[in-house]
Amino acid sequence: MTSNGTEPDEFISKLEGRAGERIRKYRQLRADIADLECTVTSDDETVKVTVLPSGAVKNIELSARAVRRSSGELEHLLMETIRQAAAKAALQLAERVQDTVGDEFDVVGMVNARLPEISLDGDAAGPERSR
What are the tens digits of pLDDT across the range 59-72?
999 999 998 999 99
Confidence class of residue 127 from pLDDT cuts 50, 70 and 90? very low
pTM of the model as a whole: 0.70
> Quick one: what percent of the chain has pLDDT higher than 90?
37
Residue-wise DSSP of 5-65 = S--HHHHHHHHHHHHHHHHHHHHHHHHHHHH--EEEE-TTSSEEEEE-TTS-EEEEEE-TT
Residues, the chain: 131
The per-residue pLDDT for 4 is 61
The more confidently predicted of residues 57 and 129 is 57
More confident residue, 119 or 56: 56
Confidence of residue 123 (pLDDT cuts 50, 70, 90): very low
Q: Tell whether the model's pLDDT for residue 40 goes beyond 60.
A: yes
